[in-house]
Amino acid sequence: MAVAEAKRNAAEARLSALALPQGGWTGVARAEALARLRAMGLPGRRDEYWRYTDPATLVQAEAAHAALFDPQDEPMVFTSFDRVKVVFVDGVFDPAQSDDLEAAGVELLSRQTADIHWAQSLYGVLETRGQTPVQRPLAALNTAAATEGVLIRVTGKAAKPVSLIYLHKSETSDAILHHCVKLEEGAELTLLENGPAAARFNKVLEVEVADGARFHHIRTQGRDHERRAVTHIFARLGRESLFKSFTLTANGVLTRNEAVIELTGDDAVAHVAGAAVGDGDFHHDDTVFVTHAAERCESRQVFKKVLKNGAVGVFQGKILVKPGAQKTDGYQISQSLLLDDHSQFLAKPELEIYADDVKCSHGSTSGAIDETALYYLRSRGVPLRQAQSLLVLAFLAEAIQEIEDEALAEDIRSRLESWLARHGQ
Amino acid sequence: MLEINNLHVKLEEDDKVILKGVNLKVEAGKVHAIMGPNGSGKSTLSYVLSGRDGYEVTDGSATLDGVELLEMEPEERAAAGLFLAFQYPVEIPGVGNMTFLRTAVNAQRKARGQEEMSAGEFLKVVREKAKALKIDAEMMKRPVNVGFSGGEKKRNEILQMAMLEPKMCILDETDSGLDVDAMKLVAEGVNALRDEGRAFLVITHYQRLLDHIKPDVVHIMADGRIVKTGGPELALEVENNGYAGILAEVL
Ligand SMILES: Nc1ncnc2c1ncn2[C@@H]1O[C@H](COP(=O)(O)OP(=O)(O)O)[C@@H](O)[C@H]1O
Ligand SMILES: [Mg+2]
């Protein structure tokens, strides 16, 4: 009782620091989210789902201070790609730096346009579905409080990727963004996200992928060492649809990325992958929940982490196969490369299967760099650092391979290489 | 070219002494063979020369063209012109064979102050050399040694040697696990590289390989020492009578 009360008090304290938006077409969804949040309270360390990650700084009323990163230190990703740029500075849309959104069919949540019926059937809807069987109060908080975000509906093959760029300019900013993406039947979209966003960042992305539609998501996050982030992706997949999400995390004192994916149409494919590299004060948590609710669907979870100087990696991944979801093909791998004895990796892989004709495999490993391979490379004249970097990239390769577009994959690789070079690998 | 004097080596982890005073001198343009029973220290010698961790040199020296090797990092030894074809080539998942080779070639060029090879030029050279060793394009795309057969691994070692053009080549049991045809390919690869400025140290158990790669000098190693040195006839003696006779004579 005392615990539940503390959680509810935490929710009230957090809410009191926020100006909650009222009315508009999201009004009902927000009110419901608020009620959900008040009933659940905010997470605490004692929650099973937060066993490996302390949510205190994500939950507390004010964002902790986060120093800005020197942009000279690291080039931005995606700059050479033809894309529709949507820029948010500390969580606030910046029209001056953004492209023409109307032409690209991108709507803004902040405009509160009333006739977005499609968005009304999505905003908070997938988040609500994602609250069972596990509670995700920080996502409910997001639905209740977000005033900014994009609403994208795609009916054909999108001409260009939509690129969400999150700039961080204030050391105390506390950003909440909520995006809704709907891919109608047969549509295709690539969504890019990058940037540190804010001192504290809470983001929800709801994605509805209709029958035969294809969604590609590539994001990079981190960069500002002290920034904290909690993100949720809620996706629902129709028949023969494809969902592919890849995240690169480099730095960031605390990151919790949740992905909640529901395969509801037969023959759908969902891949979610992540590569995380952390040096020092770095805590990175991937929490994934994939539900197979239809036949012959394929899901893959591929998560790789490279940790050094006391960095901590967490993976909680689940595949739930519902009754009747026959011929499910589920795969899950989580691995960490520990570059020293101070770093640690905590993994909780789970399978829960209620159908008899399925193929599911999972594995989790943690290991050091292969000294023999390192020596072999060096004996061929490759200098130590370069050899290490080659082996680290090799370790991450399986995750990066999940990016279909080779040019984007190359961009991610070179970003990683520059990170490794700066961090003595 | 290579001069080893009174080399004593023990394991770093425990007190086990493996090399107990190795003396060896290999001149440029020559092929030396080392034969010897299992466990006599042949691989250890090649590892110590190439800079593998885990061994402690307690005495002696090894120089390449007068420069002390034992002080150098493994990559510096490679850049100085030393190459070891491994008895057990290492698998590196996730690193493509072609990437690996190109990285190695360019790293050595860079270390020697030469310009890097262009992608086109590299491809041309590597294709030609791979073809001679019957290494197909598919094998070049695969991760280094992963899923390669024993023979493929050994041919891949020779390909690396051909690309890196070292001046001192050590081959550690490159013939073991090879059938006759594969061994011929390997021998041809080695012979193609033979010239005035290059030397070879061929570690083997069998006369077979030495039929194809004719040695100038043959050494017998036993219990961490070179116990006998002679001409090619010494290899024949081993082939016919085993090591027992030779060892009885010297110990
Ligand atoms: N890393 C090691 N750990 C334990 N023993 C080793 C190690 N390296 C070599 N040895 C031992 O040293 C001796 C020489 O081994 P090695 O050099 O492989 O011989 P060869 O190649 O002549 O067969 C053997 O007794 C072997 O077991
Ligand atoms: Mg050996």
A-interface mutation test, from B100, B145, B157, B168, most A Cβ less than 10 A away: B100
Q: Of A290, A350, A349, A291, which Cα lies nearest the Cα of A324?
A: A291
Give the pLDDT of residue A424.
74
Sheet strand arrangement including A359-367 = A92-93, A84-89, A162-167, A188-194, A214-222, A242-250, A269-279, A298-308, A329-338, A359-367
Q: How far apart are the C-alpha atoms of A203 and A231, rounded to whole Å?
A: 5
Is the CB of B50 less than 8 angstroms away from the CB of A381?
Answer: no
Structure confidence by residue, pLDDT tens digits, A359-389: 999 999 999 999 999 999 999 999 999 999 9
**pLDDT tops 80 at residue A251:** yes
Give the pLDDT of residue B251.
62
A18 CA to centre of own chain = 24
**pLDDT tops 60 at residue A390:** yes
Question: Identity (one letter) of the amino acid at A187?
Answer: A
Q: Is the pTM of this model over 0.80?
A: yes
Distance from residue B49's CA to the centre of ligand 1 (Å): 15
Determine the 3-state secondary structure of A279 from DSSP.
strand
pLDDT-above-70 percentage for chain B? 100
In a domain, B177, yes or no: no
In a domain, B112, yes or no: no
Which H or E run includes B188? helix B180-193
**pLDDT tops 90 at residue B180:** no
Ligand 1 close to Cβ of residue B46 (< 6 A): no
Give the pLDDT of residue A105.
85
Which are the contacts of B157, defined by CB distance < 8 A and separation ≥ 6?
B85, B86, B89, B171, B174
Residue A73's pLDDT band (boundaries 50, 70, 90)?
low
Which positions 367-396 of A are in contact with B (Cβ < 8 Å)?
Answer: 370-373, 375-384, 386-387, 390-391, 393-395
Number of independent structural domains in chain B = 1
Q: How far apart are the C-alpha atoms of B139 and B111, rounded to whole Å?
A: 28
Query: Range of B17's domain?
Result: 1-30+53-66
Which are the contacts of A213, defined by CB distance < 8 A and separation ≥ 6?
A154, A183, A184, A185, A186, A187, A188, A238, A241, A242
Distance from residue A328's CA to the centre of ligand 1 (Å): 49
In a domain, B8, yes or no: yes
Residues of B in Cβ contact (< 8 Å) with A377? 92, 100, 103-104
In a domain, B196, yes or no: no
Nearest beta carbon to residue B53 from set A375, A393, A395: A375
In a domain, B17, yes or no: yes
Which are the contacts of A56, defined by CB distance < 8 A and separation ≥ 6?
A44, A45
| Residue spans per domain, chain A | 2-368
**pLDDT tops 90 at residue A44:** yes
In a domain, B110, yes or no: no
A-interface mutation test, from B72, B97, B103, most A Cβ less than 10 A away: B103
